[in-house]
Amino acid sequence: MTHRIALVIQYDGSGFRGWQNQKDSITVQGTLEEKIAELDPISPVKVVAAGRTDSGVHASGQVVHFDCSGPIPIHKWASALNGRLPASIKVLEAVNVPIEWHACYSAKYRRYRYSIFNGSYPNLFLQNISWHKYKFRLDINLMKHALNDLLGLHDFAAFQKAGSNRSNSLTTVQEVSILRHGDIVTVEIQASGFLYGMVRLLMGQLVAVGEKRLSLERFRYRWRKGVRSEVKEAAPPHGLCLIRVGYEEKFFSKEKSFDTFPSFSLPVFDSSKHKTT
């Protein structure tokens, strides 16, 4: 009998060409499908994800599903896969779901976090998970005003990369937040769905607002009027992480699927206090 299994997974996107299978490239989907096939070779393996993350983007709460017909018990799948997968991918949980349930289409929301290191000097331990912006102290109050405008159902064509196969660029932004913890700035955006490249294009514009290179008025004009030609700055992928996918059904343990991406708090470094005479 064929049954459907859903996984909650984490991955460090640094070494992958994104989620989706690509010819002659190492992807998260391809790696996962290869290891599942080793455990269940009698079933054709196709893994479907809630969100197709771009090259270099991380995930701490990605949800995927696949169908299988082998004898492995559900509770054994997580440990069996973790014993075969590279260190950059970890399965947090495996659960049985109805055959009609779909990791992507059944999702009510996706939530992304973008991390910015706003310190004056580089930090080796943050360079793979944050965008280092050091020339200006970001004004998070301006950024907060810009974010709050995005709430609700809107056309976000200005924040969509070329190559999307969506029929339209409408989506509903459900929640937004921006916080500063010393030199760490984190932006979270939750939406019913995201356009291709949306978060990185939005973050590029948002940082320009925070650095006061782009006015709030021009920011609003660009996305409300869909002026894609003016949206040229995209934030780098390594600062972005898919932290949560929400479903109506409560199949997953909250501690495994809610938010497992680490939060950081770094003090503001004042070089004037460390000078010697």
Inform me whether the pLDDT recorded for 258 exceeds 80: no
The answer to whether the Cα torsion of 58, 144, 126, 246 is positive or negative is negative
| Predicted pLDDT of residue 169 | 93
Say if residue 36's pLDDT is above 50: yes
Q: Is the dihedral of CA 136, 133, 122, 265 positive or negative?
A: positive
Catalytic residues: 54
Instruction: Give the residue with greater pLDDT, 264 vs 23.
Output: 23
**Residue-level pLDDT at 270:** 58
- 138-185: per-residue pLDDT in tens? 999 999 999 999 999 999 999 999 877 788 899 999 999 999 999 999
Q: Percent of the chain at pLDDT above 90?
A: 82
> What is residue 269's predicted lDDT score, i.e. its pLDDT?
63
CB crowding 71-103: b at 16 or more within 10 Å, else e: eeeeeebbebbeeebeebbbbbbbbebeeeeeb
Which listed CATH number (3.30.70.920, 3.30.70.580, 3.40.630.30, 3.40.50.880) goes with 3-105?
3.30.70.580
User: CATH 3.30.70.660 residue ranges in the chain?
Assistant: 108-242
pTM, two decimals, is: 0.92
Please give the class, per CATH, of domain 108-242.
alpha beta
pLDDT at residue 266 in the model: 75
pLDDT greater than 90 at residue 273? no
Residues of the chain with CATH 3.30.70.580: 3-105
